[in-house]
Structure 1
């Protein structure tokens, strides 16, 4: 029985009783590991701004009020913050203070919205910023927005409560109004939690992220919905006798609800997606005697016992005179069906690959024979035989997922046949007409299909060989990008991503795309997982490419950088950057940055592929289009950074010297040459660009006043096109770029910088020496002619030895000043050394 407690959800503000406690306000980050990366939208597209408060008011006075300032000069939205019930008008529940707003502006514009929560009885208030960036509308941006809106829908419909003394949350009922991602099925909660985990929102995430608590509550509830039970040490199927209990504890774990074998795979996936096999459960069934229970055990141990239960529960009889019926259904040892089988398979795949779980080989051998039995001559799979019953678009992808579990993939010889199943799906991939006739109208099957494409393994080594192009052996049927295809781009049918983006409800959820309405509440979680191309991963690598300048003129050298790439999982990182500079499918250059140029006017796609340090590795790609055109062209702003400002290393400067004007010095005859005439910095988020000016402004006082924290800034550069190219009719052209600033305490470990930099002058040059910090990847060397800076970067040292000979040439009798900055593999600078100076002189 669930017991509810108001204080577990927030602090109630009672009229007439002054608490004088500062509200805690949080806003949702787009990227869990970096809240300064803005949420994507495009001009004219509504977006939901998302925040929470730890306090709420009660009727009739509702002393807790919120205000959303959208940051674009439009009227603010205000309303009461309530604790329970269905919000009316602009009222919002305290864990779901949202506002829908439509931003307009040029690509690259960043808006800083602010959520403020005020206790009107004490005048205590607190605020938190929320960043939105206008991007060019593209499938990738639409996918990001769809995931963003979908996760918020799940967050706001989580049912928060206290069960057995623990703050938990589930989606077994709706906390208010109508919910479209909730049901009485326990696995609905597991699937929804998995959607957060697979997008990098974790139990150990930053407390300032509202989703951290959502995941914590959800995971605690997940373990409460499991039961440990005794299983035998010996099991016999037609393949032989084996012990299903791989860890020898005599117990297996199942979902404490009917049809537990349908549901268990989603629980395994969610636990595996946590990425924390050693983490210990804090909720669930207590151990008793020989029964280890759930409480106090590692996540890996829970997953292994769930796999053991599946091994024990597999059907252990023949389905023909010679073929095993190695599958699953509703409960232990029932004649299999290929609907339930996919959940066992997906659980086994994630448990083996990511948590090191063990499943007996005879379990897979029996399942392989079941697949032979249930695959039809045309490649499709049936339900309990070769017949699909309600259509082949759930059970055929299920057969493919089971083949993945068994290491059967493209090119495998004999039965069952992956190639035949893939051909069956490809030949019908463009079908329409509902769940019985079209896989893209049947999310239950589409999710299975997506899993099989992402996890495909042709040789049984447990290493995914993801499939990008769905192919067919039927003559005249061309391969298609199953994920990214778009009719609008010339493809014969839309792929998974475009289908899901188009199907999303304006409120953020998905529903109505299944054969059985009982599956509707799962669609939001499944859609989010499909869009992010994850099943049980704790986040993905994300490729981000930039070019300076862009646009450019023919023959110009263009600087490419992948430094903005990141991993959604904070325990992993990007370790390789590769560039396909001519769009021929071959990655010719490796490195965080490189250069390219193009000889003629046109649009040139450049592809970046990044690789992470997962085992096995995972990759991500992005395509950047470089525009080569003729003047007049807008400049390209480069705000530098990210900046790490340590309190013990001042002054602090920004650096916009990387900004470029592609048509620098050009003009119409007799007109002044085009150049950048203004560098304007926006530091406080009010979009006025009047906080600092110049290429390298000193911002010490500004950020010292703000104090320790993280900040998003922008640089706007403006050229003089109006004067240089008057016949164009263009005004002066501008471009903006953003950068991150982190102000750190002097005691922050990241501020343990080089402190022994020294300089020794020689005629026309100088020797620099310092102690190389253990673990440092490389150092950037900077030089200036003013004590305290600003400085210009002159060299990179990656030798492992703290030495650099600055050969300038330096002017004798002039004093120079140097600093070195430790930098990471992705070229982000970590902190600045002490300043060293020297004056070269003639001998």
Structure 2
């Protein structure tokens, strides 16, 4: 081609491109919504009917031409507006409906200049109004307030964020970041989570607030445990008050070997655990070097006070326990002497600089209890027992200034830490001199307890905008209250998330003598690096967890309400546990069916995809009033697209291959509604047909995903009157569920379970000259299925 012709063609192409609409080349807005559970974004946010909550989202763009729309998913009018702050696209909304109803809200952001849009779902579930649900809502709203109020900047290509406008103290950085981390929001979390960037900004700024300083040998010993010649402190006055909160935030990242990318020399480029070790060394260096008074105060080697001392303990406890770092033995010896000096011999309280307190005795006594834990002192030791007795006898603070639950969150935070860090953690606050033990966290006057615990006090005190404020003796403490409240409500201090117990019962309600299937398989961990490894049940409500396993069964012989408690344990070191209680209702017909949507479903390419609602149970199935038709589940209706209309499929085991084919890989939420025949079976009840709903997770996998290649070697060998199945054993399998069908591609019916160590199964329930189709599914420790084999067929013959 001649140059002139090439030039003409180029100019022509340029002219054509200039006439094309900009929408053809614009990038759509990237929309994110806040997940309630980072490790499973399909778990809905909690609310209760009539409660106003905030739906929370962000965008990567803002401006007068960027518009947002919140569709709440309940048929109410949408909320629209201009995105003036890309980090805060919220809408206040009140859902009103039945318990267990799930709503799929959608945030859509549009660039009106280009026409491009982006959207993301936001799931909300209506729950019964209970204290645990109120706690979840309070944490959800509190974290959003912290996220919204961060001041953000960028420097040198790195993201920064701080809350310096709240207070002059750098320790606010550690407290606020820690509040996100203990709820599973980490700096290396999924990019789809808006809080991931928030925490990353917070951590980057936190390291810039540190400085190094020499740590020469002290009177009591050598504080330089790693021999590098320096320690690390907060680069601001009152560093011994502030260091513990910063250490906790670093440790709560859960990444001891991660390298800091910001900060001064000897901070940037070093492992998190090495930085924390140097912070421990600095506390050892700064301890008052008279062995009789081994504590901390405003500056190095100053005579101690029990306000500062707690922060040293709060930082060094997880340094030792979580990351195995070194605290010199002489530090604890001197600190134990300080505790003896500062505890009142008769009342048991701890004083400020001696046995006398200021601002009431609660903050200093709680500080002393944290330090006792640091020194390995707990129940059975007179020092601890006297302090705990004082706190129990004065839990409501009557007769003292600045009572803990209403005017001293500074002390309440230390108190909470002391009981949670005590080994084992303390659930019931005990007195040796009279008052009954009390659940210091979950007690409620409304449920017959003598006083409200910390959770109810915090929930009731939260501002409508999501923050806590004005609950301390000093205004300089107010800015810390929101983070402290979130961590106290979470009952987690410096872990990267915690286990969460979830218990279900099917059917519920049930009838007397009926087998009730109880499952804890939906329990989860907020930290993706940890898993739940143990499930324990208290089935008779006697306080003893006598039954073990993710799935158990029980029947009750008479009508009544039966509390069942589940406790789950993770693989942390030390382990952490979580508990939940559900109530099984045993009643008389007519009763609603209990829907079970099955799942989670892992759909791989080139297979037929079925949902399975056959595990739904109608507790009064086959019963009726005399002469009336029997009760049964007469319809299975599915909502596959989250519009709350159950009109996408209408069988117990629908083929959903066509619906999901072509959709982007990822997770989807589906819902099932089952309805019985009550109106015809029990006409005198005056009830219509009864229904219930349930949801399940659908995950579309790529062909290369390990779950799609985990068990692909199933073989079926026909014999007369039976079929033998063999497969390749997988090390991670706890068991295998065996399924068969008389239709190629399914749907399949479960016929048995084989242990994880087994590689064969015999099906003797066959008819000769009939072709059967089999699949085997791997089952994890929690009872959930994680992969499906190839389909193998066999035709037994005589």
Normalising by structure 1, we get a TM-score of 0.91
Residue 71, structure 1, aligned to residue 77, structure 2: no
Matched residue pairs, number? 776
The offset of 1:634, in angstroms, is 0.5
The offset of 1:587, in angstroms, is 1.5
What is the alpha-carbon distance in structure 1 between the residues aligned to residue 676 and residue 401 of structure 2? 56
Structure 2 unmatched runs, 5+: 1-20
Instruction: State the partner residue of 1:317.
Output: 290
Matches of residues 700-719 of structure 1 in structure 2 within 5 Å? 700-719=657-676
The offset of 1:192, in angstroms, is 0.2
Residue 382, structure 1, aligned to residue 351, structure 2: yes
Residue 30, structure 1, aligned to residue 36, structure 2: yes
Instruction: State the partner residue of 1:266.
Output: 245
* DSSP 3-state at the match of 1:493: coil
The offset of 1:837, in angstroms, is 0.8
Instruction: State the partner residue of 1:290.
Output: none
What is the alpha-carbon distance in structure 1 between the residues aligned to residue 747 and residue 294 of structure 2? 70
Instruction: State the partner residue of 1:795.
Output: 752
What is the alpha-carbon distance in structure 2 between the residues aligned to residue 309 and residue 715 of structure 1? 58
* DSSP 3-state at the match of 1:236: coil
What is the alpha-carbon distance in structure 2 between the residues aligned to residue 402 and residue 165 of structure 1? 42
Paired residue for 1:538, among 491, 496, 500? 496
What is the alpha-carbon distance in structure 2 between the residues aligned to residue 434 and residue 146 of structure 1? 29
* DSSP 3-state at the match of 2:662: helix
Q: Deviations over 1:733-782 (max 9, x none)?
A: 11000100000111112211322211111222110011112333321110
Instruction: State the partner residue of 2:623.
Output: 666
The offset of 1:352, in angstroms, is 0.6
Contact 2:458 2:485 in 1 (8 A): yes
- From the superposition, tell whether residues 721 and 194 of structure 1 become closer, same or farther in structure 2 (CA, over 3 Å): same
* DSSP 3-state at the match of 2:327: coil
Residue 97, structure 1, aligned to residue 80, structure 2: no
Paired residue for 1:834, among 790, 793, 798? 790
Contact 1:230 1:251 in 2 (8 A): yes
Residue 508, structure 1, aligned to residue 466, structure 2: yes
The offset of 1:36, in angstroms, is 0.3
- From the superposition, tell whether residues 165 and 787 of structure 1 become closer, same or farther in structure 2 (CA, over 3 Å): closer
The offset of 1:436, in angstroms, is 2.1
What is the alpha-carbon distance in structure 2 between the residues aligned to residue 792 and residue 398 of structure 1? 59
The offset of 1:17, in angstroms, is 8.7
What is the alpha-carbon distance in structure 2 between the residues aligned to residue 753 and residue 303 of structure 1? 41
Matches of residues 675-824 of structure 1 in structure 2 within 5 Å? 675-808=632-765, 810-824=766-780
Residue 111, structure 1, aligned to residue 103, structure 2: yes
Contact 2:729 2:756 in 1 (8 A): no
Runs ≥4 residues deviating over 6 A: 16-19
What is the alpha-carbon distance in structure 2 between the residues aligned to residue 412 and residue 333 of structure 1? 29
The offset of 1:163, in angstroms, is 4.1
Paired residue for 1:343, among 302, 311, 327? 311
Paired residue for 2:159, among 163, 167, 172? 167
Instruction: State the partner residue of 1:357.
Output: 325
Matches of residues 340-739 of structure 1 in structure 2 within 5 Å? 340-376=308-344, 377-413=346-382, 417-431=383-397, 436-456=402-422, 464-475=423-434, 477-648=435-606, 650-739=607-696
* DSSP 3-state at the match of 2:449: coil
Contact 1:778 1:797 in 2 (8 A): yes
Instruction: State the partner residue of 1:39.
Output: 45
The offset of 1:162, in angstroms, is 2.1
Structure 1 unmatched runs, 5+: 1-15, 83-92, 174-181, 287-292, 319-323, 457-463
Contact 2:736 2:756 in 1 (8 A): no
Instruction: State the partner residue of 2:218.
Output: 235
Contact 2:31 2:59 in 1 (8 A): yes
What is the alpha-carbon distance in structure 2 between the residues aligned to residue 799 and residue 133 of structure 1? 35
The offset of 1:799, in angstroms, is 4.5
What is the alpha-carbon distance in structure 2 between the residues aligned to residue 775 and residue 45 of structure 1? 43
* DSSP 3-state at the match of 2:108: strand
* DSSP 3-state at the match of 1:693: coil
Q: Deviations over 1:162-201 (max 9, x none)?
A: 245521111112xxxxxxxx22211111100000001111
Instruction: State the partner residue of 2:12.
Output: none
What is the alpha-carbon distance in structure 1 between the residues aligned to residue 405 and residue 598 of structure 2? 47
What is the alpha-carbon distance in structure 1 between the residues aligned to residue 756 and residue 724 of structure 2? 15
* DSSP 3-state at the match of 2:362: coil
Instruction: State the partner residue of 1:193.
Output: 177
Contact 2:252 2:496 in 1 (8 A): yes
The offset of 1:615, in angstroms, is 1.2
* DSSP 3-state at the match of 1:55: coil
Q: Deviations over 1:273-320 (max 9, x none)?
A: 01110000000002xxxxxx10100000000000000000011126xx
Q: Deviations over 1:717-744 (max 9, x none)?
A: 0111111111111111110001000001
Contact 1:393 1:439 in 2 (8 A): no
The offset of 1:800, in angstroms, is 1.6
- From the superposition, tell whether residues 608 and 746 of structure 1 become closer, same or farther in structure 2 (CA, over 3 Å): same
Normalising by structure 2, we get a TM-score of 0.96
The offset of 1:840, in angstroms, is 1.6
Instruction: State the partner residue of 1:126.
Output: 118
* DSSP 3-state at the match of 2:164: coil
* DSSP 3-state at the match of 2:724: strand
